[in-house]
Structure 1
Amino acid sequence: MARILAIDYGTRRTGIAVTDELQIIASGLTTVDTKQLLPFLKEYTTKEQVELFLIGEPKQMDNTASESEFYIQKFIEVLEKEFSSIPIKRVDERFTSKMAFQTMIDSGLKKNQRKNKALVDEISATLILQSYLYSK
């Protein structure tokens, strides 16, 4: 089986998580400068087989799209052109940043470590992926 790769897209940084090859375990992979996201994905997909891209779908509490959805849609258009053979699914990502921060607290990270926004993005991508795996 191939991996599932989750993307927590941000205008500056993007968190990335992947499954194992059996698609059982979600693990944080890295955080990438968003300007380097496509080159990173191209390199990653040459080394690992990816069967699905999951992209977080940020929504407001009233279920409307958040402001960042405009940028995510532009990214998806490029992603579809570059990786036409890999399908894309969207996953509601409401509260993932708050859950990621709470995960950091629960795991005993010190206050200065919790300020690491890149780690929050990576954990958020992992939570997006884990919620998808639970729903399958």
Structure 2
Amino acid sequence: MGRILAIDFGKVRTGIAVTDELQIIASGLTTVDTKKLISFLIDYVKIESVELFLVGEPKQMNNDPSESEVLILPFLEKLQKSIPQIPVKRVDERFTSKMAFQTMIDSGMSKKKRQNKALVDEISATLILQSYLYSK
């Protein structure tokens, strides 16, 4: 069984989370400069077995796609061309950034650490992945 890798795509940086090989535990992996995301993923799948890419699907409250969807669609095309052997599934990512920030507060993280947007992105990717695992 391979890992599931979740992507919280952002214009500047992208949060990434992965499961263990048994697909039980979701853990934050890193945050990557979005310009380097495809090359990071290509390198990652060379050293780790990945079964599925989960990509956050930003939606508005009325279920319409968010404005950031126009940035994600070209990325999805590049991803499919670069790593065609791994399927991609979209997952609703509404409220993950707010939930990530609240998680940081609840864990007692200092205000200075909570200002680290890269950490928020990584936690958001982890929340996307956890919600998918719960739904399975």
Q: Secondary structure of the residue that 2:108 maps to in structure 1?
A: coil
Aligned-pair RMSD on alpha carbons?
0.4
Q: Secondary structure of the residue that 2:14 maps to in structure 1?
A: strand
Q: Give 1:85 shift.
A: 0.7
Structure 2 unmatched ranges of 5 or more: none
Equivalent AA in structure 2 for residue 5 of structure 1: L
Counterpart CA distance in 2 for 1:38 and 1:83 is 9
Number of the residue aligned with 2:100: 100
With structure 1 as the length reference, what TM-score do the two structures score? 0.99
Number of the residue aligned with 1:61: 61
Structure 1 unmatched ranges of 5 or more: none
Number of the residue aligned with 1:123: 123
Counterpart CA distance in 1 for 2:47 and 2:11 is 26
Q: Give 1:121 shift.
A: 0.1
Counterpart CA distance in 2 for 1:73 and 1:36 is 16
Q: Give 1:95 shift.
A: 0.2
Equivalent AA in structure 2 for residue 14 of structure 1: T
**Aligned-residue identity in percent:** 75
Counterpart CA distance in 1 for 2:87 and 2:72 is 16
Note if 1:76 corresponds to 2:81. Answer: no
Report the count of equivalent residues: 136
Number of the residue aligned with 1:109: 109
With structure 2 as the length reference, what TM-score do the two structures score? 0.99
Counterpart CA distance in 2 for 1:85 and 1:38 is 14
Give structure 1 regions of 4+ aligned residues with deviation exceeding 6 angstroms: none
Q: Give 1:89 shift.
A: 0.2
